[in-house]
């Protein structure tokens, strides 16, 4: 893409400025400081990428006048001509012969790049030549450097460094920190420990053998201990038994002397004494009971009863007394119940009065208050309410309809007034208007096309002029051919030499004559050779110039032909425009401005027509609305009349219903429930009154009956009532008297019972006494004695016999217990008989000493066995080996993974290294290739730029393949490299997307004259493919550029020069 | 085959490998380690208990009670105690020793309880099993005198006359199973020729019945899986021999900890959260499959997908395995994720990418060129051994085959590709 034309309406200091026919080559804008160079650069950016935010200083408000807008015309890579127009808030792209499109140029024309990327790639200032920051910026590295290597964000050296680090972390030749080293070391340790633990089984068996030996010795000791213990136990037995054995012997001797008393009755003496005591007690008891019986008989005879009549009537008396409570409460309640009855009478009368004079108890009962009736009333009520609501809503609707009709009428009037006030549009035919607009668009497109053709004509004209200049220059060069040395010069020189040498020979200077002759010959040969070379060079140059002239003439012919064609096209377009103008009945258009004015007029007419049509439509709509509103009002009036009638009919039906039931027709359905409630209240009051009446009657009947029964009982008991009217007092007197009579009777009966009991006890004691005396006699008979003294003596002998017998039995029992069995007891007695106490003592002491010794030995051996058991138990439960083996396996697994990973990393690093050498040998990113094109020109092929793979850095390689890093470059060399890379970047970017113009801001000023020329040549090289807008405040730059232009092999690159001064852009000169 | 008055039962197990460590575990916590260390013992205890529970008349252990190299005193004592328990319950025990526990390696000092018979290594012994006065079966067996028995010792077995029911006990490799060392190699035909009624074999760790009837030839597999190569249920056979000599075998699982290895394909997963969810689901499924047992799980991430690039920047142990192990130590039915192994590949079509003329293409072509060399193994070994630190791990590389080296090259290729294509 290149900019072929630009027009500034208003931007900063520029107003209504423009440049026509910019070539696709090098365009030099020269101007002093504050002449508008930066503003012009910013204008181009603004049109391409839009304004900055509103209010930003960089928006360059139109200080010199005009609207804040402008347009740029560009020719795309494919030759398409587009105009980009931008003002504050709007942008449009107009294709040649097409309609304006409101899209951003960055999307449509600039390959999607934004302002930031444009400024980074296509705008180069002095600041950009300070380093290679651009290579590390977003969008650049990814798209051009790394992308060229096929890498994303990866950096191969960094990755290789990462791999080296990772390898070092995994494994090192020495050191213990790396993870594999750690695992290997730990595995070695485990191996040693496992070997040690494998010897455990033999150790275990050794301990086991030792334990078995100790256990055998313990067994032996325990046998000895057991025999000692047994002997000691026997000695103990003998010692313990000796005393009892002595007692046994003594008892046996005594019992022989008392054998006569052994048949005495068992416990005879005790039984005898007990019977004697019992007889004495029974006799005493009997006497006591006889003393009690006498006073009881006396008391009984003293008691008598005088109220016998009362006891005879006991049943009747109890019955009337049982009525006492009820009688008492009835007498108390009667006055109160009577007063309640009077109150109920009054309540009933009041309820009747509330209902009205026509109401009486029978009528109350007649009125139907069933659920059905209530349902009917509710239905009446609902219908009446609904009818009422319907009526009310109809009234509301009527009001709304009236309001709507008034509003619609008002609006119709207003719409009519507005339409009447609106002037009739200039063009009332929409089709005609559209036709005119279409024609204008076509004319606009044709005008644009004609402008392009004109610019091509201009370019053609300039090219022709340039060719003429070149032709003239060629002709001048041909004319200015260098004349070779004359052909006679060597001959003259030779003759002169001969003459001089002849002369010298005549003077006898033969040596000098010879030298002169030789010199003249040599000079003649040299002159001859020089002349031949001159002739050859000049003829070659002449042929070249003739060839150039021929080419220029051919190009001129081509340009003439192209000029003629362009001219024809311009004329045909002009004719087409004239035809369209005629058809559209518009005045002749000379330029775009007139076209735009006419377009504006048509836009105005279109808007006017639309407004008039809108008003007309609104008037019609409002009249229609008014008509509908009137219709609705009439409907509402009819509706309200119908609903009033329905409501009246329902009210009549309700009144008839009430009259049929003898009720007042003034009652409403809502009030009917109140009437029913009043009737139910009156019915309740009447029911209460009846209940009170029957209660009073019942109470009075009861009181009279009870009184009569009291009088009868009093008569039967021979008594008179205490007062004239029998009452509760009479019942109380009867109750007191009958209680006294009953108590006396109870006392008599109790005395009788006690007396009978005492007499029975006396009889029983007499019988018992006789029995005991018989028992005493029988006991004495059994003992074979006749007197009580004999009996007692015989009893004492018997007791003594018993004592010795028991002593003997006890001793035998103890000896049996000690010995265990009768046989052992016999043996024990025999041994006791044979051994003395002193002997036993001596033997015991000896055995006790032996026992202590053996026990100590056993205890010692058992402790040892315990220790061995503990060791064996620990060994049997020792998990160390299994723990170590599990750790070993886990570590081996990790080691296996680790070494595989290590090996993968080693192989990966090797492959990366291989790929790196291949890549650096065979492939380089396109940017670097492009940059090399420029550095070759600038440094005259002294250096080559190398980009190490995947790196956002560059190195320089000289002819001897030595590489220099950025840090090693001189300042001048660095600036040349930076500029080359920037140009390479822009070139490559342009190749990938759209080749946009590059803006160079005074990039030549820091270089010395030689380098300036080199750089200018590089710019020239760049200008072959992309437009260069070179801004500078140094006038000499123009000369450098032109000089470079002259020295390059591409004279087709057009160089145009403009000057800027106080917001005015002026064409200065052109290379052609 | 003569008949007995009523049915008798015996339990056949082999390859206990008591107290031998679990292999292939990358990480383990102490609580889990304790359970793993106990697993082989518990599995054998379970064998004894099921023999008691099922009123078995005798128990056969067909070799490899423990690993010779790793045998521990604890293993020997626990084995003796377990057998004592069985004998106390009137269960006679027969032990044949195999390549891992040959007679030469057995600790003679530890005497076995009465009722336990260990077969001799010199000749095939015949032991009569009785119930009261009635002869139930004759058990023929032989142990390995040394580890390296390469003869076909099955040929030494001969059924004698008047044998009610003949059982051969042998630790051997029938048919030359390549996944196990070829000790005492023999063929099914050799076993058939010996006219046994039941062959109680050992050595092959995965259970299989080589012949169902006449004779029944059974490998019960090991009682507890100990590595990722020994997946699924492990146990022993309860054999019922009817009064007429009919044989019914029933496999009963005894493993305390079960091994699982599951693959998860990342191609349909978009985020790490998706991946974690998928892994979590696998763990839940494994727990359900383990039927209340503890389990050890290896997760292998495979497939091509966008997740590959994210996984490259993750530590699989820290970011994937550790979250899955949370709270597992508190459970009896734990699912211990021993490792999450990443074998995913980038989405790039390597063959197509190799053809592109850029740096990555150069890299892939270099790898391919190394792969295509006839002596690629030698080349890789040379490359690795050229590094100074190689000597430390040189011994480890002796075990690596050319296939392993090829996979290292593949891994290196993927690694490099990941480095070169990674985004910022």
ipTM: 0.85
Residues of A in contact with B28 (CB under 8 A): 886, 890
Task: Give pLDDT, residue B231.
Answer: 92
Return the SS3 of B208: strand
Q: How far is CA A418 from CA A408, A414, A615, A764, in A?
A: 15, 6, 7, 150
Alpha-carbon distance A667 to A655, whole Å? 8
Give the helix/strand (H/E) hosting A872: helix A837-876
Return the SS3 of A661: coil
Tens digit of each residue's pLDDT (9 = 90 or more) over A255-267: 888 777 777 888 8
Task: Give pLDDT, residue B106.
Answer: 55
Interchain proximity B409–A907, CB inside 8 Å: yes
Task: Give pLDDT, residue A597.
Answer: 77
Task: Give pLDDT, residue B408.
Answer: 93
Give the helix/strand (H/E) hosting A86: strand A81-87
Q: How far is CA A339 from CA A6, A153, A344, A350, in A?
A: 124, 115, 9, 17
Interchain proximity B419–A878, CB inside 8 Å: no
Interchain proximity B37–A914, CB inside 8 Å: no
Search chain B and give the residue with CA nearest A895: B396
The dihedral through the CA atoms of B392, B394, B399, B404 has a sign that is positive
Search chain B and give the residue with CA nearest A877: B74
Examine residue B244 and state whether it is found in any structural domain, yes or no: yes
Q: Same domain for B113 and B206?
A: yes
Q: Tell me if B390 sits within 8 A of B384, measured CB to CB.
A: yes
Give every CB contact of residue A1065 below 8 A, 6+ residues apart in sequence.
A14, A17, A18, A19, A29, A36, A40, A1058, A1059
From the number of C-beta atoms within 10 Å of its C-beta (0-12, 13-18, 19+), residue A191 rates as exposed
Q: Tell me how far apart the terminal alpha carbons of chain A are, to the nearest angstrom.
A: 22
Q: Same domain for B423 and B283?
A: no
Paired tokens of A528 = 């001859």
Q: Same domain for B293 and B412?
A: no
CA A869 remoteness from chain centre: 61
In a mutational test of the B interface, the residue from A907, A920, A923 whose CB has the highest number of chain B CBs within 10 Å is A907
Task: Give pLDDT, residue B58.
Answer: 95
**Least-confidence region, from A243-257, B95-109, B377-391:** B95-109
Examine residue B150 and state whether it is found in any structural domain, yes or no: yes
Q: Tell me if B401 sits within 8 A of B407, measured CB to CB.
A: no
Alpha-carbon distance B92 to A1055, whole Å? 113
Residues of B in contact with A181 (CB under 8 A): 392
Q: How far is CA A32 from CA A37, A1031, A1034, in A?
A: 8, 10, 8
Interface size, chain A vs chain B, as Cβ–Cβ contacts under 8 Å: 189
Give every CB contact of residue B296 below 8 A, 6+ residues apart in sequence.
B22, B25, B36, B228, B257, B258, B259, B260, B335, B336, B338
Phi-psi region of B227 (alpha: psi -120 to 50; beta: other; left: phi over 0): beta
Q: Same domain for B87 and B232?
A: yes
DSSP state of B159: P
Search chain A and give the residue with CA nearest B404: A900
Locate all alpha helices (DSSP H) within A584-668, ordered by sequence.
592-660
Alpha-carbon distance A320 to A310, whole Å? 13
What is the residue whose two structure tokens read 């008509």? A627
Interchain proximity A912–B363, CB inside 8 Å: yes
Residues of A in contact with B24 (CB under 8 A): 889, 893
Alpha-carbon distance A667 to A660, whole Å? 13
Is the domain spanning A388-638 CATH 2.30.240? The answer is: no
The dihedral through the CA atoms of B16, B17, B21, B22 has a sign that is negative
Torsion angle, CA of A886/A887/A893/A895, rounded to 10 degrees? -160
Q: Of B387, B411, B421, which is closest to A152 when you measure between CB atoms?
A: B421
From the number of C-beta atoms within 10 Å of its C-beta (0-12, 13-18, 19+), residue A730 rates as buried
Q: Pick the closest to residue B144 from B87, B89, B105 (CA basis).
A: B105
Interchain proximity B397–A204, CB inside 8 Å: no
Residue that terminates a domain, selected from B347, B374, B393? B347
DSSP B267-336: TT--SHHHHHHHHHHHHHHHHHHTTTSEEEEEEEEESBSTHHHHHHTS-IIIIIIHHHHTTGGG-TT-EE
Q: How far is CA A78 from CA A81, A82, A109, A994, in A?
A: 9, 11, 11, 10
Examine residue B413 and state whether it is found in any structural domain, yes or no: yes
Search chain B and give the residue with CA nearest A896: B396
Burial B270-294 (b: 16+ CB within 10 A, else e): eeeeebeebbeebbeebbeebeebb
Give the helix/strand (H/E) hosting A839: helix A837-876
Task: Give pLDDT, residue A138.
Answer: 42
Residues of B in contact with A885 (CB under 8 A): 19-21, 70
| Minimal C-alpha gap between B243 and chain A (Å) | 43
Q: Same domain for B80 and B205?
A: yes
Q: Tell me if B351 sits within 8 A of B361, measured CB to CB.
A: no
Q: Of B21, B24, B423, which is closest to A152 when you measure between CB atoms?
A: B423
Alpha-carbon distance B357 to B365, whole Å? 10
Beta strands in B67-165, from DSSP E residues, in sequence order: 92-96, 116-118, 125-131, 134-141
**Least-confidence region, from A991-995, B198-202, B378-382:** A991-995
CATH number, residue B227 = 3.60.21.10
Task: Give pLDDT, residue A139.
Answer: 46
Number of structural domains chain B divides into:
3
Alpha-carbon distance A359 to A662, whole Å? 11
Examine residue B310 and state whether it is found in any structural domain, yes or no: yes
Across-strand partners of B167?
Answer: B139, B198
Q: Tell me if B304 sits within 8 A of B347, measured CB to CB.
A: yes
| Minimal C-alpha gap between B305 and chain A (Å) | 18
Read off the pLDDT band of B138 (50, 70, 90): very high
Q: Same domain for B140 and B107?
A: yes
Interchain proximity B359–A919, CB inside 8 Å: yes
Q: Same domain for B204 and B315?
A: no
Q: Give the other-Cβ count within 10 Å of A538's Cβ.
A: 14
Interchain proximity B363–A879, CB inside 8 Å: no
Q: State chain B's maximal CA–CA distance in angstroms.
A: 89
Q: What percent of chain B has pLDDT over 70?
A: 96
Q: Same domain for B85 and B161?
A: yes
Alpha-carbon distance B240 to A185, whole Å? 53
CA A533 remoteness from chain centre: 92
Q: Which domain holds residue B356?
A: 350-424
Interstrand relation of B8-13 and B58-62 (parallel, antiparallel or unpaired): parallel
Alpha-carbon distance B190 to B168, whole Å? 12
Give the helix/strand (H/E) hosting B237: strand B235-241
Alpha-carbon distance A845 to B155, whole Å? 75
Q: Same domain for B104 and B35?
A: yes
Note the residue count of chain B: 424
Task: Give pLDDT, residue A967.
Answer: 80
Interchain proximity B25–A906, CB inside 8 Å: no
Task: Give pLDDT, residue A1071.
Answer: 61
Give every CB contact of residue A335 below 8 A, 6+ residues apart in sequence.
none
Please state the rounded mean pLDDT for residues B203-223.
Answer: 92
Residues of A in contact with B21 (CB under 8 A): 882, 885-886, 888-889
Residues of A in contact with B340 (CB under 8 A): none
Residue that terminates a domain, selected from B204, B229, B255? B255
Q: Pick the closest to residue A570 from A466, A467, A460, A463 (CA basis).
A: A460
Q: Same domain for B277 and B417?
A: no
Alpha-carbon distance A279 to A270, whole Å? 15
Alpha-carbon distance B307 to B270, whole Å? 6
Residues of A in contact with B409 (CB under 8 A): 907
Q: Same domain for B20 and B167?
A: yes
Read off the pLDDT band of B108 (50, 70, 90): very low
Sheet architecture: strand order including B257-265? B257-265, B294-302, B335-342
Q: Of A877, A923, A949, which is closest to B357 when you measure between CB atoms?
A: A923
What is the number of helices (H) and of strands (E) in chain B?
Answer: 11, 17
Burial A593-631 (b: 16+ CB within 10 A, else e): eebeebbeebeebbebbeebeebeebbeebbebbeebee
B411 or A286, which is more confident:
B411
Search chain B and give the residue with CA nearest A923: B358
Q: Same domain for B308 and B411?
A: no
Alpha-carbon distance A207 to A214, whole Å? 11
Examine residue B2 and state whether it is found in any structural domain, yes or no: no
Q: How far is CA B257 from CA B1, B233, B235, B253, B324, in A?
A: 40, 9, 11, 11, 18
Interchain proximity A881–B359, CB inside 8 Å: no
Tens digit of each residue's pLDDT (9 = 90 or more) over A327-383: 888 888 888 888 888 898 888 888 888 877 777 777 777 777 788 888 888 888 888
Give every CB contact of residue A707 below 8 A, 6+ residues apart in sequence.
A725, A726, A727
Alpha-carbon distance A646 to A386, whole Å? 10
Q: Of A153, A881, A904, which is closest to B411 when you measure between CB atoms?
A: A904
Low-confidence ranges of chain A (pLDDT < 50): 136, 138-148, 153
Interchain proximity A162–B356, CB inside 8 Å: no
CA A9 remoteness from chain centre: 56
Domain boundaries, chain A: 167-198+881-912, 201-242+792-875, 315-367+667-716, 388-638
Residue that terminates a domain, selected from B312, B332, B347? B347
Q: How far is CA A593 from CA A9, A22, A599, A944, in A?
A: 12, 21, 10, 54
């Amino acid at each position: 893409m290149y900019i072929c034309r630009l027009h500034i309406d208003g931007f900063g200091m520029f107003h209504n400025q423009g440049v026509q026919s910019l070539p696709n080559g090098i365009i030099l804008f020269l101007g002093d400081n504050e002449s508008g160079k930066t503003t012009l650069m910013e204008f181009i950016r603004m049109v391409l990428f839009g304004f900055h935010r509103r209010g930003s200083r960089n928006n360059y408000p139109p200080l010199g006048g005009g609207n804040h807008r402008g347009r740029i015309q560009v020719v795309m890579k494919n030759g398409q001509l587009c105009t980009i127009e931008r003002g504050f808030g709007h942008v449009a792209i107009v294709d040649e012969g097409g309609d304006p499109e409101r899209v951003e140029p960055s999307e449509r024309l600039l390959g999607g790049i934004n302002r930031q990327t444009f400024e980074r790639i296509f705008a180069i200032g002095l600041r950009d030549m300070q380093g290679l920051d651009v290579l590390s910026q977003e969008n650049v590295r990814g798209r051009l450097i790394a992308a060229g290597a096929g890498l994303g964000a990866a950096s191969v050296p960094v990755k290789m460094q990462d791999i080296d680090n990772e390898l070092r972390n995994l494994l090192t030749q020495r050191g213990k920190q790396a993870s594999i080293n750690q695992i290997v070391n730990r595995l070695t340790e485990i191996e040693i420990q496992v070997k040690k633990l494998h010897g455990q089984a033999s150790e275990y068996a050794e301990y086991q053998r030792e334990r078995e030996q100790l256990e055998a010795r313990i067994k032996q000791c325990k046998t000895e201990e057991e025999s000692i213990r047994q002997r000691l136990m026997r000695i103990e037995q003998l010692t313990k038994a000796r005393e009892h054995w002595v007692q046994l012997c003594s008892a046996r001797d005594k019992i022989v002397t008392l054998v006569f008393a052994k048949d005495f009755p068992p416990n005879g003496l005790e039984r005898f004494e007990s019977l004697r005591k019992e007889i004495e007690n029974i006799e005493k008891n009997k006497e006591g009971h006889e003393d009690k019986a006498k006073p009881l008989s006396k008391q009984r005879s003293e008691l008598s009863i005088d109220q016998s009549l009362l006891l005879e009537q006991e049943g009747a008396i109890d019955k009337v007394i049982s009525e006492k409570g009820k009688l008492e409460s009835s007498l108390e309640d009667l006055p109160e119940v009577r007063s309640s009855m009077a109150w109920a009478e009054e309540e009933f009368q009041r309820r009747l009065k509330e209902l009205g004079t026509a109401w009486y108890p029978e009528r109350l009962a007649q009125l139907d208050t069933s659920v059905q009736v209530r349902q009917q009333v509710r239905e009446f009520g609902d219908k009446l309410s609904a009818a009422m609501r319907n009526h009310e809503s109809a009234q509301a609707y009527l009001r709304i309809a009236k309001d709507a009709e008034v509003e619609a009428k008002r609006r119709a009037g207003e719409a009519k007034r507005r339409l009447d006030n609106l002037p009739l549009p200039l063009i009332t035919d929409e089709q005609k208007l559209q036709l005119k607009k279409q024609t204008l668009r076509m004319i606009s497109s044709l005008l644009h096309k004609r402008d392009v053709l004109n610019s091509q004509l201009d370019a053609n004209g300039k090219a022709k002029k340039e060719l003429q200049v070149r032709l003239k220059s060629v002709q001048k060069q041909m004319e200015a051919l260098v004349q070779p040395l004359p052909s006679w010069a060597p001959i003259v020189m030779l003759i002169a030499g001969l003459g001089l040498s002849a002369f010298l020979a005549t003077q006898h200077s033969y040596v000098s004559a010879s030298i002169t002759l030789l010199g003249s010959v040599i000079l003649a040969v040299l002159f001859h050779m020089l002349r031949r070379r001159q002739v050859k060079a000049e003829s070659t140059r002449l042929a070249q110039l003739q060839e150039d002239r021929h080419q220029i003439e051919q190009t001129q012919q081509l340009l003439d032909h192209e000029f003629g064609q362009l001219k024809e096209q311009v004329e045909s377009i002009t004719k087409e425009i004239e035809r369209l103008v005629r058809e559209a009945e518009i005045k002749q258009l000379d330029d775009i401005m007139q076209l735009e004015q006419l377009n504006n007029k048509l836009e105005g007419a279109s808007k006017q027509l639309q407004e008039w049509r809108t008003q007309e439509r609104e008037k019609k709509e409002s009249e229609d609305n008014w008509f509908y509103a009137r219709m609705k009002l009439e409907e509402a009036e009819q509706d309200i009349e119908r609903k009033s009638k329905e409501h009246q009919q329902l009210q009549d039906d309700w009144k008839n219903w009430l009259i049929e039931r003898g009720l007042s027709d003034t009652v409403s359905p809502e009030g009917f429930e109140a009437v029913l409630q009043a009737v139910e209240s009156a019915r309740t009051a009447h029911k209460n009154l009846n209940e009170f009446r029957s209660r009073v009657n019942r109470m009075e009947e009861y009181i009279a009956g009870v009184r009569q029964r009291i009088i009868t009982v009093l008569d039967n008991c021979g008594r008179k009532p205490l007062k004239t009217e029998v009452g509760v007092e009479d019942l109380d007197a009867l109750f007191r008297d009958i209680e006294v009579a009953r108590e006396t009777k109870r006392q008599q009966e109790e005395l009788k019972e006690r007396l009978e009991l005492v007499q029975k006890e006396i009889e029983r004691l007499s019988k018992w006494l006789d029995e005991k005396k018989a028992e005493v006699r029988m006991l004495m008979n059994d003992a074979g004695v006749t007197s009580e003294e004999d009996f007692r003596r015989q009893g004492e002998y018997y007791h003594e016999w018993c004592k010795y017998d028991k002593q003997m039995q006890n001793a035998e029992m103890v000896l049996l217990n000690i010995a265990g069995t009768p046989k052992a007891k016999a043996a024990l007695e025999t041994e006791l008989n044979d051994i003395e106490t002193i002997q036993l003592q001596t033997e015991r002491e000896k055995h006790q000493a032996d026992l202590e010794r053996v026990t100590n030995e056993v205890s010692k051996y058992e402790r040892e066995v315990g220790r061995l058991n503990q060791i064996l138990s620990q060994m049997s439960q020792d998990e160390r080996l299994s723990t170590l083996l599990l750790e070993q396996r886990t570590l081996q697994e990790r080691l296996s993974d680790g070494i595989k990973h290590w090996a993968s990393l080693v192989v990966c690093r090797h492959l990366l290294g291989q790929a790196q050498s291949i890549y650096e040998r065979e492939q380089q990113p396109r940017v670097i290739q492009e940059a090399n094109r420029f550095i070759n020109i600038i440094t005259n092929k002294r250096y080559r730029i190398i980009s190490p793979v995947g790196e956002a850095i560059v190195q320089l390689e000289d002819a001897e393949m030595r590489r220099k890093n950025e840090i090693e470059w001189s300042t001048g060399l660095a600036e040349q490299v930076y500029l080359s890379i920037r140009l390479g970047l822009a070139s490559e970017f342009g190749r990938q997307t759209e080749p946009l113009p590059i803006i160079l801001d005074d990039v030549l000023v820091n270089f010395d004259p030689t380098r300036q020329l080199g750089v200018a040549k590089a710019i020239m090289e760049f200008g072959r493919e992309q437009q260069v807008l070179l801004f500078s405040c140094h006038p000499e730059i123009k000369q450098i550029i032109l000089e470079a232009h002259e020295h390059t092999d591409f004279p087709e690159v057009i160089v145009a020069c403009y000057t800027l001064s106080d917001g005015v852009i002026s064409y200065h000169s052109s290379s052609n | 085959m003569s008949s007995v008055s009523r049915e008798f039962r015996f339990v056949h197990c082999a390859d206990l490998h008591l107290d031998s460590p679990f292999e292939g575990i990358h990480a383990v916590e102490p609580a889990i380690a304790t359970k793993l260390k106990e697993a082989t013992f518990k599995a054998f205890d379970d064998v004894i208990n099921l023999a008691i529970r099922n009123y078995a008349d005798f128990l056969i252990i067909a070799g490899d009670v423990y690993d010779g190299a790793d045998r521990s005193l604890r293993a020997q004592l626990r084995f003796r105690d377990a057998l004592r328990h069985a004998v106390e319950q009137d269960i006679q025990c027969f032990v044949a020793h195999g390549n891992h526990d040959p007679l030469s390696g057995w600790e003679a000092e530890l005497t076995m309880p009465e009722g336990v018979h260990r077969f001799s290594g010199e000749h095939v012994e015949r032991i009569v099993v009785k119930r009261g006065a009635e002869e139930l079966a004759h058990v023929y067996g032989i142990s390995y005198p040394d580890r390296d028995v390469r003869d076909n010792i099955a040929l030494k077995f001969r059924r004698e006359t008047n044998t009610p029911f003949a059982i051969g006990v042998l630790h051997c490799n029938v048919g030359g199973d390549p996944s196990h060392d070829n000790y005492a190699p023999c063929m099914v035909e050799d076993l058939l020729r010996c006219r046994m009624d039941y062959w109680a074999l050992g050595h092959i760790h995965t259970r299989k019945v080589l012949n169902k009837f006449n004779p029944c030839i059974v490998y019960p597999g090991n009682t507890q899986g100990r590595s990722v190569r020994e997946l699924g249920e492990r146990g022993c056979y309860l054999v019922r021999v009817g009064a007429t000599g009919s044989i019914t075998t029933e496999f009963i699982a005894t493993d305390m900890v079960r091994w699982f290895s599951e693959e998860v394909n990342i191609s349909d997963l978009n985020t790490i959260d998706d991946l974690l969810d998928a892994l979590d689901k696998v763990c839940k499924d494994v727990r359900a499959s383990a039927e209340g047992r503890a389990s050890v799980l290896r997760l292998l991430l495979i497939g091509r997908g966008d997740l590959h690039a994210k996984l490259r920047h993750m530590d699989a142990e820290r970011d994937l395995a550790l979250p899955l192990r949370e709270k597992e130590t508190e459970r009896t039915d734990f699912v211990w994720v021993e490792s999450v192994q990443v074998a995913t590949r980038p989405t790039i079509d390597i063959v197509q990418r190799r053809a592109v003329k850029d740096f990555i293409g150069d890299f892939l072509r270099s790898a391919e060129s190394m792969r295509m060399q006839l002596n690629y193994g030698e080349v890789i070994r040379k490359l690795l051994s050229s590094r100074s630190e190689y000597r430390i791990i040189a011994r480890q590389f002796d075990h690596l085959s050319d296939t392993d080296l090829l996979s290292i090259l593949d891994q290196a290729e993927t690694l490099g590709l990941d480095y070169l294509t990674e985004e910022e």
